[in-house]
Structure 1
Amino acid sequence: MSFIGSLVIILLFTTLAGHLTARVGIPAVLGQLLIGIIIGPGVLNIIHPTDLIEQFAEIGVILLMFMAGIESDMQQLKKYFKPALAVALSGVLLPVIVMGTASFCFGYHFQEALFIGVVFSATSVSISVVVLREFKALNSKEGATVLGAAVADDILGVLLLSLMIAIVGSNSGTGGQESPNNILLQLVLQGLFFAGVFLLVRWIAPSIMYLSTKLLIPTSRTISAMIICLSMAYIAEVVGLSGAIGAFFAGIAVGQTPTKKIVNTNIEPISNAIFVPVFFVSIGLSVSFNNFLVSLPFIVIMTILAILTKWLGGEMGSLIAGFDRDSGRVIGTGMIARGEMALITAQIGFNAHLLDKNLYIDIIFVIVIATLLAPLLLRWSLRKLAKI
């Protein structure tokens, strides 16, 4: 099937799923994830993952995080930086230790078990952002902490992945290990990236957006914002970070300018109409039911641990930082979703021969199930918080 035909089917089914889930009070994102499983190789086998679908999905993540950045309150993020760091640290260490140990108990080699722990240390805040926006909690203390923790979590995940590849070594490409000099260079580049973020927020983005208002093009401000967004996403990927993180900071930068409202108004309909649904469907397309019964004990136990380690890790970090139990529950459940970050990490491990194919598929299953349950748990915790 051509990409255009696939896109029509994806948009049709996600629209219907969004309508049905809204009627029963379930987040629309959950319906989109399930549609990906149903129309993908796992069930009906209508749509298959392709490079174009993956590229559209990547743009969906970038735009979703860009909008989250635009809508974020910079003062709130600064205010809750310390609790966000505490949440990120506990939310990374607990999955690495617990899930690594559990994998080792299932008979996997030490390096495989350790890498599985690293995979599940990742958090995909993109899905949590959808639910937080739905409850208008994106700029609450809980929402700001989840966003800040996700940024710190991503950086820690990249560091762990780099160290893992360096210690174990990759059999692909050159077949050798990453040299310490390469890791040091990557860390330096990431440091320069964050220095660049400061310059972007303070001077570069305001100057670009001011100049955009002088251009004789009706969409000049939206185009300029997209150039900033995609440029930051690209630079983030070049230095070894997630493009979603670059887009998030780009959104923060644009959100500090007078063009914030018109940019958000113009970009949100495009992203929500095309790119974001493709992103959520693409996660479901990764599911395959081959050898499912054989792997079921591993999948069930690891899914439970994937949920509990992030939930408890995030809640524990928030309690240490001074939040009450109800706010801690929101933060913990907001960190559960793995989504694209864990999928990317698993893909890197598979390509580097750190995971065999069957184990890789099992891990994808755990990621998808945990991601499916994440918005339900976050929605439940936000409702409990609202009743207080």
Structure 2
Amino acid sequence: MELLGTIILILVSTKLFGQLAIRLEQPAVLGKLLIGIIIGPAVLGWVNDSAVFQEFSNIGVLLLMFLAGLETDAEQLKENWKPSVAVAVLGIILPFVSAFGVGSFYHFDLAHSVFLGVLFSATSVSITVRVLKEMSVMKTKESTTILGAAVVDDILVVTLLAFVMSFMGEGTASVSIPMLLLKKVIFFVVAFVVGVYVIPLFLRVVSKFKVTVPLTTGALIICFAYAYFGEMLGMAGIIGTFLAGLFISQTKYKEEVEHSVDPIANSLFVPFFYVSVGLSISFVGVSSQIGFLVICTVVAIVSKLFGGFLGARLTGFDKNSSLAIGSGMISRGEVALIIATTGLNTGLLAKDYYTTVVISVILTTLIAPPILKKYFRKIKTSI
């Protein structure tokens, strides 16, 4: 009964606040993120974290990235690989150096400063994808560059995190760097081979089944199998589901899969993901660290925006497009939250600063949608 009540509360509140945000000419996702804070432990305490809640949230973000893959133009992704790599690399270097500087300024030791740099180098485009879909700009070269950069960013940051944990973490087993890189190579090779040769055949066979919605079920099997395989090899599950969607988008079943999976994702699971972001917020003890919180948040936003902007400008985008791409990389989202938790467990993030860092991550996620919407509007009006 408690779960059913939670489901009702989340579905009603996210839709109402999403609509309110639209009325205020803001992305609907902004309202959905804010309501997570309001009904969570930080304010009203109506919804609390639980294992079931987290599973719903995890499924939501996996499906969100699967739909992003379905809507991504693969040809444009191939054409824009250079700017994607440039945006990702500069979008890691600048935040890493800036956050490391913040840690040093607050007298963090070397390990804690390095980890802070890694944490704020991460990018999560789950929220960005939702905004891009709302604005119907998923097929633009700017959006494609953002999604490509997010894939590269994830690979580099996860690898960097493994290096830091292996050399600086407390109570962690030594990590074999060659083995880590080998796993990444295996993942992408297998994902590519299966995507090109197996997925089209699998969907063709499944589509002939006489049971209910066989194609939708087949697509979800592929989606979750890619996520499971990715996580087995140390990749973020969202990268796996994005690639699964991307490969299915190259088949003749793309439209049918998209139209059948979208209602499943956005009517139930994705709202849990939005609310889960707000559940991480707690204002207890933060008042004594306001300066650190403000500096962290400003540095996180500016460094990522400028890093993405610079990468885009160096690869041929104009000023407005470069700002749009940079703004699409601002949100740290669930990727940084996962890294923060890992840092807490391995002694690389001081417990006293954990809550403040998490709030800073959440703030980047809340601030990113309006900035993103602003710059994509400028692109539309300049066309």
2:82 aligned partner: 82
TM-superposition CA deviations, 1:120-148 (whole Å, max 9, x none): 11111111111111222111110010000
Distance in 2 (CA, whole Å) between partners of 1:45 and 1:214 is: 48
1:387 aligned partner: 381
1:233 aligned partner: 227
- Give the 5 Å matches for 1:313-352: 313-352=307-346
Deviation at 1:74, TM superposition (A): 0.6
- Give the 5 Å matches for 1:3-18: 3-18=3-18
How well do the aligned residues superpose, as a CA RMSD in angstroms?
1.1
Contact kept, 8 Å, 2:95 with 2:303, in 1: the verdict is: yes
2:100 aligned partner: 100
1:369 aligned partner: 363
What secondary structure, in the 3-state scheme, does the structure 2 residue paired with 1:291 have?
coil
1:278 aligned partner: 272
Deviation at 1:37, TM superposition (A): 0.6
Distance in 2 (CA, whole Å) between partners of 1:122 and 1:310 is: 9
Distance in 2 (CA, whole Å) between partners of 1:357 and 1:94 is: 25
Letter in 2 for 1:104: S
1:133 aligned partner: 133
Deviation at 1:218, TM superposition (A): 2.9
1:257 aligned partner: 251
Deviation at 1:289, TM superposition (A): 0.4
TM-score w.r.t. length of structure 2: 0.98
Distance in 1 (CA, whole Å) between partners of 2:161 and 2:258 is: 34
Deviation at 1:186, TM superposition (A): 2.3
> Is 190-199 or 74-83 further displaced after alignment?
190-199
Q: Which runs of 5+ in 1 are unaligned?
A: none
| % identity of equivalent residues | 41
1:110 aligned partner: 110
> Is 148-157 or 358-367 further displaced after alignment?
358-367
Deviation at 1:2, TM superposition (A): 2.4
Distance in 2 (CA, whole Å) between partners of 1:344 and 1:66 is: 20
Contact kept, 8 Å, 1:200 with 1:253, in 2: the verdict is: no
- Give the 5 Å matches for 1:189-228: 189-228=183-222
Deviation at 1:177, TM superposition (A): 3.9
1:41 aligned partner: 41
> Is 209-218 or 305-314 further displaced after alignment?
209-218
What secondary structure, in the 3-state scheme, does the structure 1 residue paired with 2:47 have?
coil
Letter in 2 for 1:276: V
What secondary structure, in the 3-state scheme, does the structure 2 residue paired with 1:46 have?
coil
TM-superposition CA deviations, 1:27-54 (whole Å, max 9, x none): 1111111111111111111111111111
What secondary structure, in the 3-state scheme, does the structure 2 residue paired with 1:387 have?
helix
Letter in 1 for 2:174: E
Deviation at 1:200, TM superposition (A): 2.2
TM-score w.r.t. length of structure 1: 0.96
Matched residues, number: 382
Please, which of 174, 179, 182 is the counterpart of residue 178 of structure 1? Answer: 174
Distance in 2 (CA, whole Å) between partners of 1:9 and 1:358 is: 33
What secondary structure, in the 3-state scheme, does the structure 1 residue paired with 2:292 have?
helix
Q: Which runs of 5+ in 2 are unaligned?
A: none
Distance in 2 (CA, whole Å) between partners of 1:299 and 1:200 is: 45
